[in-house]
Amino acid sequence: MSNEKLRATLKCEYPIHWLAWHNDYDGLKSLLDKNKDNIEQLDCRGRTPLMLAVTLGHLEASKALLNHGANVNVENKDGYTVVHEAISTGDPELLAEVLTRRDLQRYSSSIGGIPDLLKRLRDTPDFYVEMKWEFTSWVPLVSRMCPSDTYRVYKSGPCVRIDTTLLGFDQTNWKRGRRSYIFKGQEDLAVMMEVDHDASQVTVEQIQVVPPEFMDLAGSLRPSQDVVSERITAPVVNTYIDTNKISFERTKSGILGWRSDKCEVVNGHNCKVFNATNVELVTKTRMEHLSENDKQRHKAAKSPLQSFLGTIEVEEKSNGYFNEDVTEWRSNPCHITPEEYFNSQVDLNNRDIGRPRDTTVRTQKFKANLWLCEDYPLSLPEQILPIVDLMSINSSHFARLRDFITLQLPAGFPVKIEIPLFHVLNARITFGNINALNESVPGVTTLHCNSVVTCAIDSFCFEAPTGYARLGTPGPRQFGISEDDKLLLYAIEQSLMEAGSEKDQVTVWEALRATKPAADFEVVEDHALQRAIQESLTSLQHSPSEENCKLPLANEAMSDTDLATAIALSEEAKKEEERRLQEEQETLEHILQLSLTEK
């Protein structure tokens, strides 16, 4: 086939991609105005037209695609989103455009998805259930300080209510409280209420599917220069659970030849215990867009404690061919032609478009655990998954739970699940008090019909209490926090500041409303772990000499004798402090070694 015929064939097969490759704004606008059915088409390299345009750093083509509603939340074959690729270009204007549309689409998706989810709930049996979230760690002295929360879920017809305990972090103290989130669905709209029982306030918002004219508000969602700058000067971090190699096996109990399949009773239900092996938590960090100063700052901020955490770290770098053209170096350093790129018969031999990647991959293997009950009174796909979908709209923890329970699980309802969240943090979710059978709940009546247990929920459970102040929230508003993985880590780090607060019950939902931390959550994770261990050791090995080293202040001058005494005490205190620090360091290393051995 001649070169001209090949170009014509490829252009016909990928018309939008072809225009995006050549950054043809007018051509894209004209084509998409007529028909945008194929705006999400994947090319032979696994990219949508928007992903292709952003990876190439083509601002005009990206604008044309974004203006016609191209999906910003898609991922390429390596698991990176459009936002990740926009950051990697180092172009602040392109990143601002992508972030603006992403935030708009997130809001549109959330309010558009809620009525559909509530419609799915309408046809399922009513129920009440409690979901207890416990955050645990395999690292000694850290697990007891991790927060926990209990979600109480009411479902009646198209209405859902979720109660949580309240976390607020005020300087050095955890605060408790009560919050309810109520969703009431109708045909084409829903009412969302956030009830603060402590302040006796309720915030009411009526949500509908976003009309086309809502797109005009995109400018009001444009991120500030500080937000854009913060992202461009920080590494791109992508954390996910690799589910491709997961396998489920029955847990055994007993010794030697007497081993048998393990069963346990969880909240009154007999459960088979399974463990999921080959669960890998992968963190990819890209730094090709950073200046040398930013790279050094990021590397210097890493804690040496990472070497104890059992992670495998691999650096991956891709090479290009620099020919003095800076623009081409950033977008197409391997000089790939469109005829090569769009031809599936051509092997690129590890060449790719976009700035050459500088990637560090951290991998840690975990074992997830499952407790499955074959005769549980709830249905996972019909009753629980719609609730998890509802919570997943703005919570990545529920999204991770959804991804896990939608795998090909063994038969039965997962009464208890333990899954990894971060390198040193696991989440344990336990379902209990189904239909208020174990403990009575106001507004919930347990019904027994032959061997089936159901419940009836009073309508007042889905109404704001009388006497509460009613507030409205005009304009776009999201019930939840984006990037809550990073904020959760910050909340945990803050919780470790106060000794003795580890018994307080806190909620994930409200923890995410704490003050936003620095951009690099890897560093926060390691610093939180290090602070937890150091403070625990300090509390266990507190030295009385610390009190002696505080010299009293006096207005009059000290005598020579007093001065000599003070110097002697200071030197003695210094030696004692050095000895104590050495003991703590040895104890810390011993604890970490033991934890790795036991793990």
Q: What angle do CA 90, 93, 98 make, to 5 degrees?
A: 90
pLDDT band at 542 (very low <50, low <70, confident <90, very high): very low
The whole-number pLDDT of residue 294 equals 86
In this structure, is residue 558 part of a structural domain? yes
Is the pLDDT reported for residue 273 higher than 80?
yes
| Domain boundary, last residue among 280, 297, 312 | 312
**Do 323 and 285 lie in a common domain?**
no
Q: What is the 8-class DSSP label of residue 553?
A: P
Which tokens in the block code for residue 446?
A: 């347990």
Ramachandran angles phi, psi of 316, nearest 5°: -125, 125
Best-predicted range by mean pLDDT (100-114, 300-314, 367-381, 564-578): 367-381
Burial class (CB in 10 A: 0-12, 13-18, 19+), 278: middle
Considering only residues 88 and 497, tell me which one the structure prediction assigns the higher pLDDT.
88
The whole-number pLDDT of residue 562 equals 56
Is the pLDDT reported for residue 38 higher than 70?
yes
Domain count across the chain = 3
**Do 269 and 340 lie in a common domain?**
no
**Do 284 and 339 lie in a common domain?**
no
The whole-number pLDDT of residue 313 equals 58
In this structure, is residue 472 part of a structural domain? no
What is the DSSP secondary-structure string of 515-536? PP--S-HHHHHHHHHHHHHHHH
| Distance of alpha carbon 429 from alpha carbon 150, whole angstroms | 9
Residue with tokens 């997961």: 246
Q: Mean pLDDT across the stretch 389-411?
A: 70
Q: Mean pLDDT across the stretch 514-535?
A: 43
Closest C-alpha among 219, 220, 216, 209 to residue 108: 209
CATH code of the domain containing 338: 1.25.40.20
Considering only residues 557 and 272, tell me which one the structure prediction assigns the higher pLDDT.
272
pLDDT band at 139 (very low <50, low <70, confident <90, very high): low
What percent of the chain stands above pLDDT 90? Answer: 28
The whole-number pLDDT of residue 537 equals 44
In this structure, is residue 416 part of a structural domain? no
The whole-number pLDDT of residue 302 equals 56
Which tokens in the block code for residue 209?
A: 């599917």
Best-predicted range by mean pLDDT (365-374, 404-413, 476-485): 365-374
Strand, coil or helix: 359: strand
The whole-number pLDDT of residue 584 equals 63
Cβ–Cβ < 8 Å for 303, 526: yes
* pLDDT, tens digit, 9 for 90 and up, residues 479-500: 433 444 444 444 444 443 333 3
Half-sphere exposure of 63 (CA within 13 A, CB side): 11
Is the pLDDT reported for residue 359 higher than 50?
yes
| Domain boundary, last residue among 356, 383, 413 | 356
Burial class (CB in 10 A: 0-12, 13-18, 19+), 308: middle
**Do 343 and 292 lie in a common domain?**
no
C-beta atoms surrounding 522 within 10 Å: 23
Q: Mean pLDDT across the stretch 251-269?
A: 86
Is the pLDDT reported for residue 521 higher than 50?
no
pLDDT band at 135 (very low <50, low <70, confident <90, very high): confident
In this structure, is residue 99 part of a structural domain? yes
Considering only residues 174 and 394, tell me which one the structure prediction assigns the higher pLDDT.
394
User: What average pLDDT does the chain have?
Assistant: 74
In this structure, is residue 199 part of a structural domain? no
**Do 305 and 331 lie in a common domain?**
no
The whole-number pLDDT of residue 220 equals 61
**Do 545 and 586 lie in a common domain?**
yes
**Do 305 and 328 lie in a common domain?**
no
Q: Mean pLDDT across the stretch 194-209?
A: 83
The whole-number pLDDT of residue 387 equals 79
User: How far is residue 281 CA from its own chain's centroid?
Assistant: 13
**Do 252 and 295 lie in a common domain?**
yes
**Do 297 and 349 lie in a common domain?**
no
**Do 8 and 105 lie in a common domain?**
yes
Cβ–Cβ < 8 Å for 126, 155: yes
The whole-number pLDDT of residue 566 equals 59
Is the pLDDT reported for residue 215 higher than 80?
no
Cβ–Cβ < 8 Å for 352, 334: yes
* pLDDT, tens digit, 9 for 90 and up, residues 288-337: 999 888 888 877 655 444 444 445 556 665 554 444 444 555 678 888 99
**Do 263 and 326 lie in a common domain?**
no
Is the pLDDT reported for residue 432 higher than 80?
yes
C-beta atoms surrounding 521 within 10 Å: 22
Considering only residues 498 and 211, tell me which one the structure prediction assigns the higher pLDDT.
211
The whole-number pLDDT of residue 328 equals 57
Beta bridge partners of residue 363, listed in sequence order: 282, 312
In this structure, is residue 411 part of a structural domain? no
**Do 49 and 86 lie in a common domain?**
yes
Closest C-alpha among 240, 220, 264 to residue 107: 220
pLDDT band at 552 (very low <50, low <70, confident <90, very high): very low
| Domain boundary, last residue among 253, 280, 312 | 312
Strand, coil or helix: 18: helix
Best-predicted range by mean pLDDT (404-418, 432-446, 584-598): 432-446
The whole-number pLDDT of residue 170 equals 42
Q: Mean pLDDT across the stretch 2-27?
A: 92
Strand, coil or helix: 66: helix
Considering only residues 418 and 139, tell me which one the structure prediction assigns the higher pLDDT.
418
In this structure, is residue 449 part of a structural domain? no
In this structure, is residue 337 part of a structural domain? yes
* pLDDT, tens digit, 9 for 90 and up, residues 51-68: 999 999 999 999 999 999
The whole-number pLDDT of residue 282 equals 83
pLDDT band at 591 (very low <50, low <70, confident <90, very high): low
pTM for this entry: 0.63
Q: Using DSSP bridges, classify how beta strands 178-185 and 159-165 pair: parallel, antiparallel or unpaired.
A: antiparallel
Q: Which domain holds residue 270?
A: 240-312
Ramachandran angles phi, psi of 153, nearest 5°: -110, 125
